[in-house]
Amino acid sequence: MTDEATQKVLVTREGAVLVVTINRPESRNAIDRETSLALAEAMDQLDSDPALSLAILTGAGDHFCAGMDLKAFVAGERVELPGRGLAGMTQSPPAKPLIAAVEGYALAGGFEIALACDLIVASETAQFGLPEAKRGLIAGSGGLVRLPERVPRQIAMECALTGRMIPAAEAERWGLINRLSAPGAALDTAKSLAAEIAKNAPMSLAASKEIVAQAGRWSEDSLWPRQNEILERVIASRDAREGATAFAEKRPPVWKGR
């Protein structure tokens, strides 16, 4: 990966939280192929490091992400990564929890990236939308699949067919947003939420995410066996013993992520 590509995505650690920033403010953080590769690398770092519990994904400047870089698309770039999708995550999100901190626009692929995250914190001035039909495209990076899971089907259908923008207040009303912040404070609000989450055991967080995200697609016959398989992994972990021991000793647990 080139130095230029690395600079398109900034990655910092704050304790157990990885803060990942799409750093292309001059193009409203639109995603080209190098940015997808850099974001995929950041997601791999999140999942491979047992000291990390979750990540926050945000955008530099005034906007979260305006979607796929159309100039790159017209120039022949394939922005999506095989098996991983746009931004290296819309098709295969990380195993660990991911919070989107949204200021300004989260449009087209940018909205789809936010929908691939587990939680959304948004500024009061944020706007969401799937305008692909206006450009002769469809929201093929998960928007048409995930939005109906987050809001009523008829609202998702209207958004997909009209391409209209959804103001943050409306998105909160439909339950799409977890926390609404003052303008400019989405990242700080996301960090506060992340700190609350990071107090808990990393394996428990990843396992809980897996069940919440996948259980709706499991058959009735397989639901309990699949959940119990995940549960057994958690019960057998060092952190499960540490949690019980810390509770008995009336002290904060020290998680190892294993």
- The residues that are catalytic are 112, 132
Q: What is the Cα–Cα distance from 83 to 94, expressed in whole angstroms?
A: 13
- Which tokens belong to 147? 């939005």
Cα distances from 196 to residues 192, 205, 240, 258, in angstroms, run 7, 12, 19, 20
Q: What is the Cα–Cα distance from 119 to 191, expressed in whole angstroms?
A: 12
Q: Sign of the CA dihedral 168, 174, 177, 181?
A: positive
Q: Counting runs of H as helices and runs of E as strands, what totals does the chain give?
A: 11, 9
In terms of Cα–Cα distance, which of 113, 102, 97, 111 is closest to 196? Answer: 97
Q: What is the Cα–Cα distance from 95 to 166, expressed in whole angstroms?
A: 28
In terms of Cα–Cα distance, which of 130, 150, 59 is closest to 101? Answer: 59
Q: What is the Cα–Cα distance from 67 to 85, expressed in whole angstroms?
A: 12
Q: What is the Cα–Cα distance from 109 to 35, expressed in whole angstroms?
A: 13
Q: What is the Cα–Cα distance from 86 to 82, expressed in whole angstroms?
A: 9
Q: What is the Cα–Cα distance from 228 to 222, expressed in whole angstroms?
A: 10
